[in-house]
Structure 1
């Protein structure tokens, strides 16, 4: 941290979403961090401090809108080191007019370093590994055996037999098994879109708790609803993520890593599957109880998490850029 220079300091309550978008738009060498109940804008390039401070002063006082500011770098008269110049005559700040001119905007989904999302990457790999195991008839040790008896509390049920045998992993491992490549692909995309932002923002602990409890709950819901069927897939985990994101986005409206439209599509898909529309047109049976169980679990975990103050981690900017 000693190599970073403080460019500006903001109150902890200040919404920095516009600043984050500005940094993303121009790929500036900046990061935002919290320290001593303040939000600090830091840089490793001392040259841009003098340029940014007047702009940030104007923005904080409400004189300009960062979303309507364009940064242009003038061509230097002689070769110089990379980076922004520290003098105003080499950098021009120009406010946009009321009508936008189509300036470059950040991508729909932000990019996170791979080393910040190891659990998500592992889950994605497990989706395809589970498909490989199922294709080669090697997945029986991961599934909950089907049970014709619907008396789930009976000591003779297949679930009770698994647990009495010490095979506790079967409560979660059906999530690994996928019955087709497309099945694995769609769930892997769900983890990539929803899981990586959650893990990068919230940290691995809450993410692992969400994945484990969401997977176990979805499997138990599905087994309770239809004990005679073989089921598998990470859809229940994905819907636990959907439920979690839905609550956090309401708690922290400035958080925009995951567009709200994605959550809307996921909820519409949940309803269509529950109504049997997908099965009617494709003949594919859907583990609707697993989806619902994961979704409810995600909602409950998120509510507890947010009440305990965890939503504060989901500001509109990343910990580092």
Structure 2
């Protein structure tokens, strides 16, 4: 087991509180003095977690706000309410999707739906007439670039997307924070929506699936470069989602009755997610090496 220096602090900094927290968490560590600095050493595989912990609790946890499993007992999974409190951005995105699903009647209420789609439209008889994207943007309707991620067509659509966003979003929020998750979600939505628009033209599309493939690609590549338990995805999950993507691209999924699939959004989301995972993973790896 290799150890690395995760913190180098002046001798005047009181590290005792944080060291007590590490002891309470049973984290292997040692502190040394080198060149007028105090250096905290931990096993390489948990170095990123310790840095994140120090960023949140530099003085330790004197009031014992952190709930840790008692020694010798099996840790229990946090309750649903605790998970919501720990993942507010993940919960906010899912709540927004549910609200949109309710007010649009899962895509049936076209009058409400038209305010959230990538292209504004109006119903003329039995036809839908779309407004050019440039006209909408010139009118200040920039939200249209990302709001299609909140639109879902059917209960199964939102149930499946919501489940996967809950699983992937919480991982990113736990390791990189809520602001990063929100930024990635908006970026993946923007890229996947635009990719689908370029590929399919003036059509109705929506859902979180493009964002989900972005989150998948981000976790996948990030984990390869900077391994961390928070980003560990079972190999079966990764294989299943990639196989599903290939089946969708083949046209078989649409053929058996699942409706039209936004394949360009999936591919666009996955590619940009792999790119952000590459950047984030390289940055985290560099920090670990310092």
Q: Do they superpose with TM above 0.5?
A: yes
Name the residue aligned to 1:319.
none
The reply to whether residue 201 of structure 1 matches residue 175 of structure 2 is: yes
Q: 2:256 aligns with which of 281, 284, 289?
A: 281
Q: Report the RMSD for the aligned CA atoms in angstroms.
A: 3.7
Please, what TM-score do these two structures have when normalized by structure 1?
0.63
Please, what TM-score do these two structures have when normalized by structure 2?
0.69
1 CA distance for matches of 2:286 and 2:186? 20
Higher alpha-carbon Rg: 1
Q: Which range moved further: 137-146 or 297-306?
A: 137-146
Secondary structure at the counterpart of residue 232 of structure 1: coil
Q: 2:189 aligns with which of 208, 212, 215?
A: 215
Specify whether residues 32 and 238 from structure 1 end up closer, same or farther in structure 2 by C-alpha distance, changes over 3 A only. Answer: same
- Residue 112 of structure 1 contacts residue 196 of structure 1 at CA under 8 Å; is this kept in 2? no
Name the residue aligned to 1:50.
none
Name the residue aligned to 1:246.
220
Name the residue aligned to 1:9.
29
Name the residue aligned to 1:52.
none
The reply to whether residue 227 of structure 1 matches residue 198 of structure 2 is: no
CA offset digits 1:89-112 (Å, max 9, x no partner): xx8xxxxxxxxxxxx8998xxx97
Which is helix-richer, 1 or 2?
Answer: 2
Name the residue aligned to 2:229.
255
Q: Per-residue deviation at 1:12?
A: 3.8
Q: Per-residue deviation at 1:282?
A: 1.2
1 CA distance for matches of 2:253 and 2:22? 54
Q: Which range moved further: 157-166 or 206-215?
A: 157-166
- Residue 120 of structure 2 contacts residue 136 of structure 2 at CA under 8 Å; is this kept in 1? no
Secondary structure at the counterpart of residue 207 of structure 1: helix
The reply to whether residue 168 of structure 1 matches residue 142 of structure 2 is: yes
Q: Per-residue deviation at 1:116?
A: 2.5
2 CA distance for matches of 1:159 and 1:43? 55
2 CA distance for matches of 1:224 and 1:277? 22
1 CA distance for matches of 2:42 and 2:173? 22
User: Structure 1: which 5+ runs fail to align?
Assistant: 21-30, 46-82, 85-90, 92-103, 148-155, 314-321
Secondary structure at the counterpart of residue 259 of structure 2: coil
Specify whether residues 43 and 14 from structure 1 end up closer, same or farther in structure 2 by C-alpha distance, changes over 3 A only. Answer: farther
Specify whether residues 119 and 42 from structure 1 end up closer, same or farther in structure 2 by C-alpha distance, changes over 3 A only. Answer: closer
- Residue 194 of structure 1 contacts residue 242 of structure 1 at CA under 8 Å; is this kept in 2? yes
Name the residue aligned to 2:100.
130
- Residue 225 of structure 2 contacts residue 282 of structure 2 at CA under 8 Å; is this kept in 1? no
Name the residue aligned to 1:23.
none
- Residue 210 of structure 2 contacts residue 269 of structure 2 at CA under 8 Å; is this kept in 1? yes
- Residue 146 of structure 1 contacts residue 227 of structure 1 at CA under 8 Å; is this kept in 2? no
What is the 5 A alignment of 1:184-195?
184-195=158-169
Q: Per-residue deviation at 1:252?
A: 2.5
Q: Per-residue deviation at 1:115?
A: 2.2
Q: Per-residue deviation at 1:283?
A: 4.6
Q: 2:284 aligns with which of 309, 313, 316?
A: 309
